[in-house]
Amino acid sequence: MIAVIQRVSHASVSIDNQLKGQIETGFLILLGITHADTRDDVEWLSRKVIGMRIFNDADDKMNLDLAAVNGDILLISQFTLHASTKKGNRPSFIEAARPDVAIPLYEAMITQLEADLGKPIQTGSFGADMKVSLLNDGPVTILIDSKNRI
């Protein structure tokens, strides 16, 4: 499971010109799920994201987590994070999980993030053509791969 975490001042997602979700201060998370991912990846990644201390403290050091800044989460599924670009110029998405595997894990991630954060999060819609807008704060962008824990 791959997560691209962007520290944002504002982020939103629209589907068919309709606003689906939006946040102010917090994390925009792009989530890629592969066929080898499990509930263990969901739990580990959620804890890692929620504990990520990338907000500035009074000394302007990245030392605060989401709870400390009363931040929110906008979670977007993105199978293209598992693109293979080794051959040619057309990416292969063979490592991305099929919907029968990915949807339950995406829904489990929503539930886990809400439990770990202690409040509801905003989301896109799995498999939809989404328009995502954000104001990256910093910019700060962190990549976490649940298969690379060491």
User: How far apart (Å, rounded) are the C-alpha atoms in residues 57 and 64?
Assistant: 6
Catalytic residue check, 80? yes
Candidates 27, 34, 79, 123; catalytic one: 79
The pLDDT tens digits for 40-49 are: 999 999 999 9
The pLDDT tens digits for 90-111 are: 999 989 999 999 999 999 999 9
Candidates 6, 34, 78, 112; catalytic one: 78
Supply the pLDDT for residue 88.
Answer: 87
Candidates 28, 60, 33; CA nearest to 141 is 28
Catalytic residue check, 6? no
| Percent of the chain topping pLDDT 90 | 91
| Percent of the chain topping pLDDT 70 | 100
Residue 150 has pLDDT above 80, yes or no: no
User: How far apart (Å, rounded) are the C-alpha atoms in residues 104 and 35?
Assistant: 12
Please, which pLDDT band fits residue 144 given cuts at 50, 70 and 90?
very high
Candidates 88, 69, 73, 97; CA nearest to 1 is 97
The pLDDT tens digits for 49-87 are: 999 999 999 999 999 999 999 999 999 999 989 888 988
Output the pTM of the full model. 0.94
Residue 23 has pLDDT above 80, yes or no: yes
| One-character DSSP codes across 71-93 | -EEEEEE-GGGG-B-SSSSS-B-
The answer regarding whether domain 2-145 maps to CATH 3.50.80.10 reads: yes
Candidates 25, 35, 12; CA nearest to 138 is 25
CA atoms within 13 A on the CB side of 1: 26
Catalytic residue check, 38? no
